[in-house]
Amino acid sequence: MIFARAESVCPVCLRVLPARKRSEPDGIYMDKTCPEHGDFSSLIWEGDLRSYLTWPVKNTAAEAPVDGKARDRGCPYDCGLCREHRTKGCCVLLELTRRCNLHCPVCFASAGAGAESDLSLAEIETQYDYLMAHGGPFNIQLSGGEPTVRDDLPAIIRLGREKGFPFFQLNTNGLRLAMEAGYAEELKAAGLNTVFLQFDGVTDAVFETLRGRPLLAEKEQAIVNCAAAGLGIVLVPVIAAGVNEDQVGAILRYGLEHMPAVRGIHFQPLSYFGRCALSRPDRPVTIPKMLRLLEDQTAGLLHASDFGGGGAENPYCSFHASYLRRSDGSLKPLKRRAEGGCCCVSSDDSRQSVASQWSGEAEEFALDGDLLDTSSLDTFLEHARLNTFAVSGMVFQDAWNLDLDRLRRCYICEMDSRRGMVPFCAYNLTDTEGRSLYRT
Ligand code: SF4
Ligand code: SF4
Ligand SMILES: [Zn+2]
């Protein structure tokens, strides 16, 4: 049964096409027809129509981009941002380099270029200034390529801090953090808040498939070094059908065992763009599938019903839940916040920020039954820091399942020196031949 209309693109030529959302007993599909390249159908939700329509959402009012560009060819071709966009952004990725010290079979950024591709410090400063003039300060994600191959990474963070950006997240494979003594401390001293550590599984076989070599020992060392430096870590597993779906529960348990250094897990079901050695399956991992894997593999520790969709972005982009770890090791789901869903799991240690973030949860802590003196802010904050854990994920879009309504609400942008702020799923969109709309 067709129950909704949408707009998408042809995976072959990327022209905009009308699309239909169709409900079947085994899931929700998006169908579209290119006059030149034929019919395409993609599973977008592994559940029934009721579960799709009642997915918990907290949609916020649309917010115009600051100084948005006029419409020219229309979405998704006018990014940077155009006036039809419906948020002003929240997180901005700076692709500091296209170099990498790995050559993963799966890489949305198709990393592997030479040093000449690095942004200069002067270009980065110009990007910081652009962002400040277009709605900043934003949360900054230092990305690549592998950003730690740049020796001036601490200087880049310091510069951003001087410009007034309050939150810096490093997206990294963790190799340099593991290998170089004192490096985590150096980044922390420069102003880094948190490390998003690529962490696809708990066996080397998974890393060999997705990253091209065994890496578990390096990941563990990176966690040890970040913990010693006081840097919060979020584990970021890419989950691919047929590769590591069976490790979702083990990854979660690994994260919990490494609290409080590990603050959460941010799952990313594999999207089929950029360099991707795996072919797209008929049934890619969707939000309900991820939640079912989590529930099935954690023996009652958490439940699919704990999760909701994002509030800042389109709710079908993401899922999230926060937990309090009780003294017996069980997890108590915390109330969902209206603005939840941001990819940045803040480890901001400013007292005021943390206090306001958790002030609504005092009752929850009291319910834990622990002898917790919530009248003391310091005790309360320390308990929150040591015992809360976030589980979230984002299902990036590719040319098969792209929904322009989701894209128009995207709040994660890539900073591009020519175009400005380009929504992540537009920036990384590639056709069946690997051609990109924006990435040069
Ligand atoms: S994704 Fe946003 S900025 Fe890009 S073309 Fe569409 S509405 Fe405009
Ligand atoms: S459009 Fe893509 S990057 Fe943006 S919020 Fe949705 S899934 Fe995330
Ligand atoms: Zn086409």
Task: Find the 433 Cα to ligand 3 centroid distance in Å.
Answer: 12
**In this structure, which residue's CA is closest to atom 7 in ligand 1?**
85
Mutate to test the pocket of ligand 2, among 9, 317, 438 (most ligand atoms within 8 A of CB): 317
pLDDT at 360: 46
Ligand lying closest to the C-alpha of residue 420: 1
Higher per-residue confidence, 277 vs 393? 393
- In order of start, what are the domains of the chain with their CATH numbers? 91-394 (3.20.20.70)
**In this structure, which residue's CA is closest to atom 4 in ligand 1?**
79
Given a cut of 50, whether residue 228 has pLDDT beyond it is yes
CB atoms within 10 A of CB 411: 25
Q: List all residues whose CB is within 6 A of at least one atom of ligand 1.
A: 75-76, 78-79, 81-82, 84-85, 407-408, 423, 426
CB 139 within 8 A of CB 164: no
Task: Find the 430 Cα to ligand 2 centroid distance in Å.
Answer: 15
Given a cut of 80, whether residue 61 has pLDDT beyond it is no
CB 365 within 8 A of CB 356: no
Query: Interior CA angle at 401 toward 47 and 339, to 5°?
Result: 70
Task: Find the 422 Cα to ligand 1 centroid distance in Å.
Answer: 8
| Per-residue pLDDT tens digits for 88-145 | 888 999 999 999 888 888 887 777 777 778 999 999 999 999 999 999 999 999 998 8
* CA trace torsion 101, 346, 140, 197 (10° rounding): 10
- Cα gap 147→102, rounded to integer Å: 12
Q: Which residues of 257-276 are buried (b: 16+ CB within 10 A; e: fewer)?
A: ebbebbbbbbbbbbbbbbbb
Is 239 strand, coil or helix?
strand
| Per-residue pLDDT tens digits for 335-381 | 765 444 455 444 344 444 444 444 444 555 554 555 455 566 777 77
Tokens of 331: 């997890």
- Cα gap 248→240, rounded to integer Å: 11
How many CA atoms are closer than 13 Å to the CA of 394, on its beta-carbon side? 22
Q: List all residues whose CB is within 6 A of at least one atom of ligand 2.
A: 313-314, 317, 394-397, 406-407, 410, 412, 423-425
Q: Which of 126, 31, 118, 132 is nearest to 89 (CA)?
A: 132
Cis peptide before 76 (omega within 30 of 0): yes
**pTM (global) more than 0.75:** yes
pLDDT at 45: 97
Q: In one letter, which amino acid is 440? A: T
- Whole-Å CA distances, 185 to 44, 225, 229: 42, 8, 5
Cis peptide before 260 (omega within 30 of 0): yes
**In this structure, which residue's CA is closest to atom 7 in ligand 2?**
396
- Lookup result for tokens 């529930």: 295
Pairing between strand 232-236 and 318-325?
unpaired
- Whole-Å CA distances, 261 to 104, 135, 254: 26, 32, 12
Q: Percent of the chain beyond pLDDT 90?
A: 74
- Whole-Å CA distances, 218 to 100, 115, 254: 16, 24, 15
pLDDT at 346: 42
Task: Find the 319 Cα to ligand 2 centroid distance in Å.
Answer: 12
Ligand lying closest to the C-alpha of residue 83: 1
Query: Per-residue DSSP letters for 33-54?
Result: EETTTEEEEEEEESS-HHHHHT
Task: Find the 407 Cα to ligand 1 centroid distance in Å.
Answer: 7
- Cα gap 215→362, rounded to integer Å: 40
Higher per-residue confidence, 215 vs 362? 215
pLDDT at 339: 44
- Mean pLDDT of all residues in the chain? 89
